[in-house]
Each structure stands twice: as structure tokens, then as C-alpha cells.
Structure 1
Amino acid sequence: MDLKTQALRTYRAILRELPRRTPPSPLQTRLRTLYQQQPSQTPQAKTEGGEGEGQLQMKLQQAEQWAMYARAQRKYAALVERYNPGATLTEEEKIRLTARRVGWDLPDLSEVEGEKGGA
């Protein structure tokens, strides 16, 4: 596979793992500029007199590893949420759900506080 095809595949894999936004995030904008640059336009190429194909290949492999890591983190977060659904709940929500589990319905605290203030 040539470098251009590999770069395009890696770029798309990274973008799939980032949240979609209507205005692109600064990270997405930076990634786009990095992938659009020709090898002779990169800052290292100006100082080193040009990048070899080996260095570009190494950078693409690092980008692929980052995309795999981001994908794994996303899947991990989804599994944690799936198997520990109460992990992100507030203390009040946990108490309300525990009460409902044993058949109780807690009163709405906003209604109770409104009665105290009016009386």
C-alpha cells in the first residue's frame, strides 16, 4: 500500500474516533493541516533537508496506533457505562432509584421546598 492511501486511511480512522462538531474542533483542524501538508512543507523537512520515506512511515504507524488507542478507550467507556450504569449518577439519583427498587416513591424535593417557603 502506498503512503498516500495509508495516510488517508489513518486520517479517516482518527476522525471517526473524534466527536463530530459542526465547527471543527482545533484538534480536527490541526490534523487536517498536518495531513494536507506535503512532506517538503513540514517543519522538520525544512531543518533536516527533507524527510525520508521511513520517517513518514513511522509517523503513519504512530497515528494508526493512536487511532487504535482512541477506539479502545471509546469501547471501554461504553462497556463501563453498560455494566455499571450507576457510576455516572448523582447521589440524589442513586437514592431515588434505590427507593424505587424497594417499592417506594420519594417526593419531589422541589415541591416540598416550595411548600415550606409558602407556609
Structure 2
Amino acid sequence: MSSTTSLYRSILCELRKSAVSPRPERSRAIITHLREALTNPRISQAQRQQDALNALTFLHSQRSYEELLVRYNPLHDMTPEERVKATARRVGLDVPVEAEEDSLKNS
């Protein structure tokens, strides 16, 4: 049981590291389902440990993927307009200012 417990704690630690929202706002459903899966008597101990190890590997890989995405693709979390402006700045250009509809109707 100690290895399952240590895997459970590692999963909780990985969930904490990859969390986007502050702790009080996080859903308890993930932890509840995880605890139920790791204490389910119908599943063998070896299968529970394998499932916990798979979950831990997935969470760690997902967090690493997000870190690499931010590092090597800094435009991934921008809106399309911001992405166009940033790309234009990268090559030394500025995006022209668009005219507003009200000024077009009055002229």
C-alpha cells in the first residue's frame, strides 16, 4: 500500500503544480475520483498501481508539454489580432490603424 500511497501523493503534487486556478477554487471531483479509483477493492493492487503510474506520467507529460509550448511558441495564447500585431513587429512592421465605422459614415 505504501507505493500506492506515494503514487497518490505524487499525483496530488503534480495536480497542484499544473493547476491554473487557486486552491480554494479547484474542483474536488478529480481528487475524489482518483481516491475512489485507487481504493476500489474490485481492482487488483497491481492494476491500481499501474493506473496511478499512468496518471502520474500523463500529468507530468502534459505539464512539460505546456512549458515547452510557452517557451518555443510564445504566440500560442494570443488572440488572432494580437498574433498578427506580434508577427508584424517581429519583422519590423506595424499593423495599420483601422478606421472606425462612425468616422466612415460621417464622411
The TM-score, its normalising length taken from structure 1, stands at: 0.61
1:15 and 2:12 are equivalent in the alignment: yes
**Can you list the C-alpha shifts for 1:58-114, whole angstroms capped at 9, x where unaligned?**
31122112201220121022112211112332221122113323143654x6xx538
More helix by share: 1
The answer for the alignment partner of 2:89 in structure 1 is 100
CA-to-aligned-CA distance 1:7-62 (integer Å, 9 cap, x gap): 22111111123226315431112223455x5x7xx3x2xxxxxx7xxx21331122
Q: Is the 8 A contact 1:99 1:106 kept in 2?
A: no
Q: Measure the CA separation in 1 of the matches of 2:27 and 2:94.
A: 47
SS at 2:82 equivalent: helix
1:47 paired residue number: none
Give the equivalent residue in structure 2 for 1:48. none
Superposition RMSD on alpha carbons, in Å? 2.9
Which of structures 1 and 2 has the larger relative contact order (alpha carbons within 8 angstroms, sep 6+)? 2
The question of 1:27 aligning with 2:30 is answered yes
**How many residues align structurally?**
99
Residue 100 (structure 2) pairs with residue 113 (structure 1): yes
For structure 2, the residue ranges without an aligned partner over 5 or more in a row are none
1:83 to 72, 81, 84: 72
Structure-1 separation of matches of 2:34 and 2:60: 17
Q: How high is the sequence identity, in percent, across the aligned residues?
A: 28
Listed as ranges, the gaps of 5+ residues in structure 1 are 45-50
Q: Is the contact made by 2:37 and 2:48 (CA closer than 8 Å) also made in structure 1?
A: no
